[in-house]
A and B are shown apart, each in its own frame.
Chain A
């Protein structure tokens, strides 16, 4: 029988600061406003988006010592910091040598290390190929974060990085669950990471992916709102520690949630940089996946949606949920209204909600879109769910979902 997998630690880094409490505060609406993106390089188009949820000024030095940080790209630092927070919560910080011999690291990233890639290209085109820095090249691979974490921890289990745009987070979770459930790893660290550099921000804006400035100059992510115009870019990292529920119990660790199902799919109607209209196929895939895991749609009492304010993305999300639940949908909340898009906030938020440590109304939503037939929860407090569905539909077609079960709290033992 496949063992049930538990989440025993969560760590988060972002514009909101570091740690679960800072993330919970951001979900409740206490996040700093999006910051101005440096437009001095001239990459941005006139009239386009100017802001993003940047982790500028967030001090990571207590989590990633400077001597270690100087060898890392910004996303690797975010990822390392989030991982250390998650391991600390799981009671797995500072294990003796060999303690992570069978720990897997699974990273998810939409765009990979953007800054070092840009720097490398500047060297190659500006100064010639022989000017390319080997240190930057090493950091430019999408798996640099997972490699740094493995190196720092001595994690010698499977190590992989998944790049599948906005679904990278839940796809990484699915692979982590698989590795733990099949015994290929004793535990897995899932780490989702992104950085939002000016070039990437400008490119997203040129693809018309970002929320446009309103009359007041503000750029707001409005999940499911009639006036939504795009996402607000974000950077940061989220990390989860996964292990068999029985193993967690054995060592006295407290489970924050258990993973009841992971489901994956794809919408072939999606263009490369947008969402498609394949709600029927995605809903069928989701329903079949839930059935295979023995999860009845009626047992879900909350959806933590990846809706982000994207015009076509939110429409697809609403249509899939509408097909899955018919006329009786559970409450829906969309944390990306508070956190922005990218950087793993969705996954960390879902775990905190399942653990009863955050109540996440949908910030940015005010006016229902009649075309969607769905209005998210906008005011707290939400009742703590017993079972929730996390949903991530990516531009380009990928899709992934997870079902998290709440775990009744019990006193933690020393580990």
Chain B
């Protein structure tokens, strides 16, 4: 059963390429990855030494925010300011029926680690203010507070599927009339916990990740934020807002297969895609390209390739696929938001960004991976974005082209 679509009218982003949507777009089109050596914390003792770190904040991004904010809060606040300006909305939404739906995995974990190191260190002292935004809900709450959101505020922390699930929750709230406008996004920062944790699973490549390459050996971690202004069609029309893209449907499922490995047959993510297509009232034939989860781990990419074959059948090898993670790393809880945002830009500008990565595309996977240079898709009307998570949670969304940006 399908429901009403929602208008995406503003975008904001912070990424390893810099602060802002245009820095991100230039970066992903360049084919040059933002994954490289980094300095967020001393990682000399780690097995791998690369990540996509956000460059130092420009002066304007630090202005006006309190000192007791986490890095992830700051990324999110910068992204929302950009998104609201792009949507021609005021910085405060007190007078609107607005909600916020966010994805985050670790929130202020980087600051929590500083606290823990102090508390357990030789002086056994630490500033409690480091924990002000400790939880995954920290960045979303900071945005809601700053923007005067009075409606539902909800952070979903379902690992790498979080932000796409947040898109689903937002779309449901818009359809139900609970809100007329939703801030949807995610924010996560680099931290030792996730860097060491994924290393412990031997899930991190020693070089920048190489999704869908024969030589792929794992993911790369990134940090940043993405924010999408999503509103009801009537709200966008009433405001005369420019519609960058339509959020037509979101689907979710669970593999119920393994705590860390995806269902190798791709059945779980295929069911999420089927649910998203049904929610959008469309069919696989109408999808022009896919922004896949594409972590670069051998298991994920193989499962996703099978998913594409399940969903598209014989057409799977002809549907352009791209992985944003090869450019900016894996944003974990925020991945679904930044990848949906890139998909919106790709639809609006008729270009599918390439998937950087050394090596040769794994021919056994049978997919049409966009590599080397952007692929022009001027007639593309509809795209999918997919995410798979620890524990088997899957989510997918269907986006359709709005007006030309």
Contact = CB atoms under 8 A, between A and B. Distances in A.
B153 A266 contact: yes
A285 B173 CA distance: 14
A266 B256 contact: no
Interface stretch (A5-13, A151-159, A321-329): A151-159
A53 B2 CA distance: 46
Interface string B272-287: 0001000000000000
A193 interface: no
Interface in B118-171: 119-120, 124, 128, 131-133, 135-138, 141-142, 144-159, 161, 165, 168-169
B100 interface: yes
B30 interface: no
B391 A163 contact: no
B234 to A, nearest CB: 16
Contact of A130 (B45, B99, B145, B147): B45
Interface in B199-234: 199-201
Contacts of A122: 120
A95 to B, nearest CB: 13
A152 B389 CA distance: 17
A130 B46 contact: yes
A137 B275 contact: no
A402 to B, nearest CB: 13
A266 B158 contact: no
B393 A159 contact: yes
A194 B252 CA distance: 25
Nearest to B42: A129
A132 B199 contact: yes
Contact of A134 (B131, B168, B201): B201
B196 A146 contact: no
B137 A175 contact: no
B113 interface: yes
B230 to A, nearest CB: 16
Contacts of B391: 141, 143-144, 146-148, 150-151, 159
Given A132-B197, A137-B197, A151 B256 contact: yes
B135 A155 contact: no
B256 A265 contact: no
Contacts of A175: 154, 169
Interface string B167-187: 011001000111000000000
Contacts of A142: 105, 136, 157-158
Contacts of A397: 141, 144-145, 153
Given A156-B268, A203-B131, A264-B152, A134 B136 contact: no
Nearest to B115: A203
A69 B393 CA distance: 21
Contact of B99 (A111, A203, A264): A264
B192 interface: yes
Contact of A178 (B158, B159, B172, B195): B172
Interface string B376-405: 000000000000011111000000000000
Contacts of A396: 137, 141
B85 interface: no
Tell me whether chain A's interface is mostly helix, strand or loop, or mixed.
Answer: mixed
Given A138-B390, A147-B392, A120 B153 contact: no
Interface string B60-101: 000000001000000000000000000000000010000110
A39 interface: no
A156 B200 contact: no
B135 A266 contact: no
Contacts of A137: 193, 196-198, 200-201
B254 interface: yes
B199 A147 contact: no
B64 to A, nearest CB: 15
Contacts of A117: 193
Q: Is the interface on chain B under 10, 10 to 19, 20 to 34, or 35 or more residues?
A: 35 or more
Nearest to B109: A117
A105 B254 contact: yes
Contacts of A260: none
Interface string A160-177: 111111000001001100
Given A137-B200, A143-B391, A272-B141, A264 B254 contact: no
A124 interface: yes
Q: Which of A111, A148, A162 has the most chain B CB atoms closer than 10 A to its own CB?
A: A162
Given A120-B196, A160-B165, A264-B99, A155 B254 contact: yes
A29 interface: no
A111 B134 CA distance: 9
Given A159-B392, A264-B99, A264-B154, A128 B254 contact: no
B301 interface: no
Contact of B196 (A132, A151, A159, A165): A132
Contacts of A165: 135, 137
Q: Which of B46, B117, B119 has the most chain A CB atoms closer than 10 A to its own CB?
A: B119
Contacts of B133: 272
A270 interface: yes
A206 interface: yes
A162 to B, nearest CB: 6
A204 to B, nearest CB: 10
Given A125-B117, A156-B254, A272-B141, A266 B45 contact: no
B393 A268 contact: no
Nearest to B141: A396
A134 B200 contact: yes
A370 B390 CA distance: 50
A160 B158 contact: yes
B111 to A, nearest CB: 12
Interface string A64-93: 000000010000000000000000000000
A35 to B, nearest CB: 23
B334 to A, nearest CB: 14
Given A130-B47, A159-B252, A183-B1, A141 B150 contact: no
A268 B144 contact: yes
B254 A150 contact: yes
B318 interface: no
A134 B201 CA distance: 5
A281 interface: yes
A156 B137 contact: no
Interface string B21-45: 0000000000000000000000101
B253 interface: yes
A110 interface: yes
A182 B169 CA distance: 12
Contacts of B255: 156
B330 interface: no
Q: Which of B135, B144, B158, B271 has the most chain A CB atoms closer than 10 A to its own CB?
A: B158
Contacts of B177: 292
B315 interface: no
A112 interface: yes
10 contacts: A110-B135, A117-B193, A129-B43, A129-B192, A129-B199, A134-B201, A148-B391, A150-B391, A268-B148, A272-B132
Please name the 7 residue pairs, one residue from A and one from B, whose CB atoms are nearest each other, closest first: A147-B391, A137-B197, A264-B152, A158-B252, A142-B157, A159-B254, A129-B196
Given A122-B120, A143-B157, A163-B156, 4 more contacts: A163-B137, A178-B169, A266-B144, A289-B178
